[in-house]
Amino acid sequence: MLYEIIKFPDPVLEKVAEPVTLFDDSLKKLVDDMFASMYAAEGIGLAAPQINISRRITIIDLSFQKRPEEKIVLINPEVIAVEGKQHEEEGCLSLPDIREKVTRAAWVKVRAQDATGKHFEVEGTELLARAFQHEIDHLNGILFISKISRLKRDLVSRRIRKMMKNGEW
Ligand SMILES: [Zn+2]
């Protein structure tokens, strides 16, 4: 099934998500449905709170369906090491059409579980490092617009309010 993507300012996006403790068939089904929902929304990353499920599950596919081996499922993920800095533009399915530059670590190492509960570590640089940090932030109730300057954030809020008023959000 396809889930609707929840948009800012829904409170579920600012809640700390609950850890996953049961690695059963319904979790595997949820992960598959998350990939389908993410592709339908033309995204490369999705966290469960964005479909109104406040649990620590996130998926990434930077190849956007082109290379199945690049599909990443992170359950109960944690950033365990970071290095360097990068400053690049980010977007988010929960904030359509908003793009702002965000400072992130250049390299991160993540420890997580897969859909069967097995622990693993994965590392990434550039866009992948950014995706890890952006998606794990979602599980902690943090949106990328909280990482930009106050001035830019005010401009973004004003733009969103205007779109809401015009029924475009
Ligand atoms: Zn996002």
The pLDDT tens digits of the residues spanning 116-166 come to 999 999 999 999 999 999 999 999 999 999 999 999 999 999 999 999 999
Catalytic residue among 18, 100, 135, 168: 135
148 CA from centroid of ligand 1 (Å): 14
Confirm or reject CATH 3.30.9.10 for domain 11-165, answering yes or no.
Answer: no
Q: What's the alpha-carbon Rg for the chain, to the nearest Å?
A: 16
Catalytic status, residue 70: no
Binding-site annotation: residue ranges for Fe cation: 92, 134, 138
Contact in structure between 45 and 60 (CB atoms under 8 Å): yes
For ion ligand 1, residues whose CB falls within 5 Å = 92
134 CA from centroid of ligand 1 (Å): 6
Does the pTM surpass 0.75? The reply is yes
The pLDDT tens digits of the residues spanning 47-59 come to 999 999 999 999 9
135 CA from centroid of ligand 1 (Å): 6
Per domain, the residue ranges of the chain are 11-165
165 CA from centroid of ligand 1 (Å): 23
131 Cβ neighbours under 8 A, 6+ residues apart: 44, 45, 60, 62, 124
- Helix H or strand E encompassing 38: helix 25-40
Q: What is the pLDDT of residue 125?
A: 98
Q: What is the pLDDT of residue 116?
A: 97
Q: Count other C-beta atoms under 10 Å from residue 157's C-beta.
A: 13
